[in-house]
Amino acid sequence: MGDFSIQISSNLVDKLVHDAEKSKRKPRRTKIKVPREPQEPQTKTNQKQVSDNSETPKGTGAKGWPLQPPIFVPVTPPSQSTYAELDAIRSVLQESERVLERLQKQEENMVQEVTQRAKELHDKEFKLPFQKPMPCLSEKDACLACYKEHADNPLKCAGFVKSFEDCARRIRQQVGSAEK
């Protein structure tokens, strides 16, 4: 792998040094003083120049202090233990994906099975029981056929009507005697 580098600003270094000093509670180290350019008495025009970054000389910050060059710290590539951890994480992810796929297949199978059973139950519940044929059906059909054939003279169907009437009377008598 190639070398990596991180750019650390002088402000970050100062902050880290300052934080380290606070945590140690030891006497402060003396900071390296950077010589400043001689300052002129400030007037309103000089204040505008200082606040205007476009007019600061090259190589100086907003307050006219010289900028320190960035510090580059080489970063070492990840160690073998890091690769082992990554491989372990990948294997766990792959295993969880396989488990997820198996669960999804089981869910699909269960949905199909439940749907099939629900359909079977529905068919059993709403299936009409075997019904007895309608009594006097042949007499009724003969009567209706006659009426269709002789629509202009329905009196010709009186015999069919009489036989249908006799059949209906017999059935009523049978049902009435069975109820008693």
Q: Is the pLDDT of residue 120 over 80?
A: yes
Q: Which token pair is 101?
A: 């796929």
Give the model's pLDDT for residue 84: 84
Distances 65 to 9, 48, 72, 132, 136 between C-alpha atoms, Å: 15, 16, 21, 111, 119
Query: For residues 143 and 157, is the Cβ–Cβ distance under 8 A?
Result: yes
DSSP secondary structure string, 85-150?
Answer: HHHHHHHHHHHHHHHHHHHHHHHHHHHHHHHHHHHHHHHHHTPPPPPPPPTTHHHHHHHHHHHHHT
pLDDT given for residue 121 in this prediction: 86
| Average pLDDT of the chain, as a whole number | 77
Residues in the chain: 180
Tens-place pLDDT, residues 30-85: 556 655 655 555 544 444 444 444 455 555 555 666 677 777 766 666 677 778 88
pLDDT at 40: 53
Q: For residue 139, give both structure tokens.
A: 């007499």
pLDDT at 5: 66
pLDDT class for 12, splitting at 50, 70, 90? confident
Residue 171 to residue 168: CA distance in whole angstroms = 5
Comparing CA positions, the residue from 145, 143, 132 lying closest to residue 165 is 143
Burial class (CB within 10 angstroms; exposed 0-12, middle 13-18, buried 19+) of 161? middle
| Neighbouring C-alpha atoms within 13 Å toward the C-beta of 80 | 0
Q: Tell me the whole-structure pTM to 2 decimals.
A: 0.30
**What is the mean predicted confidence (pLDDT) over 99-122?**
93
Cβ–Cβ under 8 Å, residues 3 and 74: yes
Q: Which residue is it, tokens 């380290």?
A: 20
**Reported confidence tier of residue 3, pLDDT bands at 50, 70, 90:** low
